Amino acid sequence: MFRYIILLSQDPLSFIRLGSDDFTPVYAGTIKAEDEEDALNRLFCIFNRDYPPDYRGRSLSVGDRILLDGERIMTYQIEPTGFTIVNSN
């Protein structure tokens, strides 16, 4: 089980590296997943196809971030071909 926060970039078309102040938390919840990779892939599908009924944001895009809180807190950035770790605690 992972707790998560979806962080949307304020400028999804920006090609510069953004700081933490450039993101807006838009949704938080929990998800059952086997590991971080499974959680990220499930969240990407949920927030691009199977939106939660109370979600009012846009689809996830390259540059957006997902914060996962499982055994440790990790922040991942969405890339064109997957996810990269932005930071971990």
Angstrom distance (rounded) from CA 68 to CA 29: 10
- Domain segments of the chain: what residues? 2-88
At 19 the pLDDT is 62
At 63 the pLDDT is 84
**Which one, of 48, 10, 49, 54, lies nearest residue 28 by Cα?**
54
**Whether pLDDT at 8 is above 90:** no
At 49 the pLDDT is 92
Looking at the chain, the whole-number percentage of residues with pLDDT higher than 70 is 81
pTM of the model: 0.82
Angstrom distance (rounded) from CA 47 to CA 6: 9
pLDDT digits (tens, 9 = 90+) for 59-69: 898 888 899 98
DSSP string, 6-46: EEEES-TT--SPPPGGGEEEEEEEEE--SSHHHHHHHHHHH
**Whether pLDDT at 15 is above 50:** no
